[in-house]
Every structure is written in structure tokens, then in C-alpha cells.
Amino acid sequence: MPSTERSPSPLLAFLAYLLSIFLAATLLSPAIHALLHRLYPAPPERYFRRVLEISALLLLLTFRKKMGIRSWPDIGFSRPVLRPLLLGCLLGLVSGLLCLLPLALSARPGHQVGIHLEPASFALWIGRGMLIALSEELLFRGIFFTTLRRGLGPFLGLLASALLFCLAHYLRAGPTAAEGPLTLFTGWNLLSAHLAPILSFAWLDPRGLLLFSAGAALAAAYQVTGSLWLPIGIHALWVAILYGLEAQSGGSPLGWWSPLVIAFLGILLWTGFGWQRRGRAA
């Protein structure tokens, strides 16, 4: 695992990296939308999010060395691959199904609850989950948590990265965010609209607690192994189960039970595998 020695330099570079991502999306997304909307008809707010995502990857090339990222192993892409990935899938499946326990217990006789485990559908959900897990784990655990851990230490870095993971899922704007002709203020209006749910504390609800718990548990999985493959496996199965729930009318795992299950998984990973951190740089 890369060194986790505290240093203010990576943290300052990380803050500059975040600001640059939002500034790039604010300044560039309206112009890109004006140029490409005939080829790719999508609302301005979707262009804002896509430019935000692309900027996060491209600007990493500029800031990565200042954040202490010099190679793939520095952000968790190390060997072995298959074993931690499969273990992560197992942990994700078990914890995800435990989150569905209240649905199963409250089911009415003859009422189907949960996921229809048709092999073709479930394989598709896992494939989608793996793509989402790869991208989000690279960003939130590989880049964000790695850098925050160097600046704040493992535990505070875990909490900070989990909060960012939660807030990112509330970075949304309504369909009227950029109505009217393109102006110098269009990008700033989009930025304001996307930040509105965060600034209004819309994330202080059971869904926000679930996202925070998930981010903390995934960061713990990365911390105790030094590999992104374990959290990628966990994350992929969680997403697959959510896809399965969307395909069913049985309900949603949101509520207070699911965050408790996920938080308990994170605590088990942090403490139960703590012996693996001994001898590593802290």
C-alpha cells in the first residue's frame, strides 16, 4: 500500500484539483453543448455532468504528482486481482441481500419480493455494476481517498471521502437549470443549480446516510487491503442488486436498516482485517 504519511501538500493539490474540475465544467459545458447538441441531443445539465466527469480524468494528469499519485499501484490497481475481486463480490452479495431483509419479512403471502435471479438479467446487472464500480472506485477511493488519507490520516480521510461520495450523488440539476439563450452566466447557473441540493442539505436523509455508509465501507475495504479490487467487487454487486430492485416492484432497500448493515460491514472490515495493516506505512 502507498504511504499514508500526513502532509499538507497533497491536500492542497487535491483542493485545487476539485476546484479546477468544477471551473472547467462551468466554463466549457455551455460551449460544448452549443457545438454538439445537434449530434448529441441532451439537456445542458447532462453536458455539465459529462464535462465534470471528463475533466476529473483529464485534470488528474496535471495534479496527480502533486497529490502523490505516480503509478497505478498508488491508486490501488495492484495484484492479485481475481481473489480480492471475488471476495468483494461475495461480501457485496451477502450485505446487499441483508439489506433486503426487511422487505422479505414484510412481504404479503403470494407477493414476490426482491430480485428475480434470471441468469441473463443478473449477468447484465453485474456487468453494468462492474462498469460503474470501476469508474467510481477509481475516482472516490483510488484518487480521492488516497489523497485525503495522506493529508488527513486514514480515519479522517475515510470520513471525508465518504462525505464526498455521498454529496456527489446529490450533484443534480432540474431540467430548467439553463433555460434561454447561451450567455456568459449559463455555466454559473448550471453550477448553482447542481450545488443547490447539496447546499440545501437535501442529503440529510436515509438515502444520504446509506451513501455515506457505503462510501465509508468501501474506503475501509481499500484501506485494509491496499487494493481497489475488493471495493470494486463489493460495489459492483450492490449496484447489480439495485438494478434488480428497479426491475421488480417489490420495493427499495432505502430506510434506516440498510445504512446500519453497510456501516456494520465497514466496521468489520476496518477492525476484523486490521491485522493486515500492521507493518504497513500508516
Residue 216 lies in a domain: yes
Q: What are phi and psi of 108, to 5 degrees?
A: -80, 150
pLDDT value for 244: 77
Q: Is residue 194 part of a domain?
A: yes
Q: What is the pLDDT of residue 281?
A: 41
Q: Is residue 54, in this structure, part of any structural domain at all?
A: yes
Question: Is residue 247 situated within a structural domain?
Answer: yes
1 in any annotated domain: no
| Per-residue pLDDT at 278 | 45
Question: What local confidence, expressed as pLDDT, does residue 254 receive?
Answer: 58
116 domain-assigned: yes
Give pLDDT < 50 ranges for the chain: 2-3, 250-251, 275, 278-282
Q: pTM (2 decimals)?
A: 0.88
The three state secondary structure string of 37-92 is CCCCCCCHHHHHHHHHHHHHHHCHHHHCCCCCCCCHHHHCCCCCCHHHHHHHHHHH
Task: Please give the grid coordinates belonging to residue 165.
Answer: 461520495
Q: Encode burial over 259-277: b for 16+ CB neighbours within 10 A, e otherwise.
A: bebbbebbeebbeeeeeeb
Q: Is residue 207 part of a domain?
A: yes
Which residues in the chain belong to E strands, given as ranges? none
The domain containing residue 255 runs over which residues? 8-277
Would you say residue 47 lies in a domain?
A: yes
**pLDDT for 279:** 40
C-alpha cell at 26: 462551468
Q: How many domains does the chain have?
A: 1
